[in-house]
Structure formats: C-alpha cells, structure tokens
C-alpha cells in the first residue's frame, strides 16, 4: 500500500482548521473561606490558523466560542449583587457560574515529521478572553440563569498547553485529536461589598476533535 505523506514546507505554508471540543472546567481560589465545589461540563468551538516558518514549527492563532463555568462555596454569608436585586447566600450553599467567552489563542506549535499517517504536535501560548455572557444559579434560593455581570469580570488572560496527534487523510487534510489545558492568570470574580477578597482562577480541560486543511 502507498502511504500518503503530508509535508509542510516553510515557503508554503499556512493551514486552517476547525475544532469542536467537549470541556470540563472548575475554579481554584487563594483563600480557605471560598472553595471550589465541583466541575462543570462545557463546549468550545473554534477556528485555527497556522503560519509555518519551518517544516516543524509554526505560529498559531485563531478564534473560539468557549462555554465554561464552575461552582464556588463560601464558609461565610455572602451577598450576591445582580443587575436589579441582591441575594443573601448562606454558608455552604454553592453558587454556579456559567460563562461564555470569545477567546483568541496565540502561540507556538511544534510538530514532528509524519510517521505513516500520524504526526504528533504540541502547542503552547496565551489566550486573551472576552466574556460575552455571564450567568449564575443559586440552587438554594431557586435562582437560575440570573445575569451575573456585577459578579464576574469581563476580561481574562490564560496560558494554554495542547498536545495531540494529526492523522493524515491525504494532501494537507488531517484529523486532529488532542488534550488542552488552560489556566487563567487573572481573577474571575469581582469582590463586592462584604464579599471575601480573593482570587478565583478558572481551569479548563478540553478534549480536542478537529480537522486541519
């Protein structure tokens, strides 16, 4: 059998891709009074662009729509500030956040030579994010889908590390499978009124399913 070899040369070359990734996201905090209370499922859909400057290295960027979230619980009574009312959350009752980002990853992609149909890659870089939708649920108070713009910041920045494989379908077309970890540098939440002064970071694990062409 003849095995197709997918070669990328530095003169070329740019490549495009699209991906649809199931996501698991959760929070971490820097104080013991506020803690993570479990992960949430989500989804990340996006487009990628790579500009090669050698056969194995490229600059990577793109745009994606990321749905993520998390649960926080406080050991103290907390007053949540929504757009037109406030709610008192008693200790131990979780607040569930649902966040939708417009994300703009950029970084450096390293890729092995193709072995048979398969090549391996890693991608490291940064991800500026703009929050375009922010909601909160408080199950103990029967609050669901409330606008949380007063509780969540609008901008964040993270680093990401992706590793995976590309399976050639011939020419420059390849299926992509991988795993991506994303960790925010900046605080997710605002500290209103009597709320604890903390730094809440969001961590996101994505399972990459895509195609490059």
What local confidence, expressed as pLDDT, does residue 1 receive? 43
End-to-end Cα separation, the chain, in angstroms: 23
Residue 37 burial (C-beta neighbours within 10 Å; 0-12, 13-18, 19+): middle
CA–centroid distance for 208 within its chain: 11
pTM over 0.85: yes
In which residue ranges of the chain is pLDDT below 70? Answer: 1-12
What local confidence, expressed as pLDDT, does residue 183 receive? 97
What local confidence, expressed as pLDDT, does residue 193 receive? 82
Q: Tell me the Cα Rg of the chain.
A: 20
Specify whether the CB–CB gap between 40 and 70 falls below 8 A: yes
Please work out, in degrees rounded to the nearest 5, the angle formed at the alpha carbon of residue 156 by the alpha carbons of 165 and 142.
Answer: 100
What local confidence, expressed as pLDDT, does residue 12 receive? 60
Q: How far apart are CA 46 and CA 65, in angstroms?
A: 6
């Amino acid at each position: 059998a003849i095995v197709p070899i997918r070669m990328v040369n530095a003169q070329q070359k740019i490549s495009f891709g699209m991906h649809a990734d199931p996501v698991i996201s959760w929070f971490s905090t820097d104080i013991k009074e506020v803690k993570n209370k479990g992960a949430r499922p989500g989804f990340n859909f996006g487009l990628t662009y790579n500009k090669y400057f050698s056969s194995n290295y490229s600059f990577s960027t793109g745009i994606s729509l990321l749905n993520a979230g998390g649960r926080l619980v406080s050991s103290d009574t907390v007053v949540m500030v929504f757009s037109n009312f406030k709610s008192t959350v008693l200790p131990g009752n979780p607040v569930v956040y649902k966040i939708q980002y417009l994300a703009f990853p950029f970084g450096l992609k390293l890729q092995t030579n193709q072995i048979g149909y398969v090549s391996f890659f890693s991608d490291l870089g940064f991800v500026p994010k703009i929050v375009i939708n922010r909601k909160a649920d408080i199950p103990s108070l029967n609050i669901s889908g409330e606008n949380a713009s007063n509780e969540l910041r609008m901008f964040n920045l993270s680093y990401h590390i992706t590793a995976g494989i590309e399976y050639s379908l011939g020419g420059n077309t390849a299926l992509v499978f991988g795993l991506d970890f994303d960790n925010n540098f900046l605080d997710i939440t605002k500290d209103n009124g009597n709320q604890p002064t903390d730094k809440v970071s969001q961590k996101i694990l994505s399972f990459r399913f895509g195609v490059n062409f």
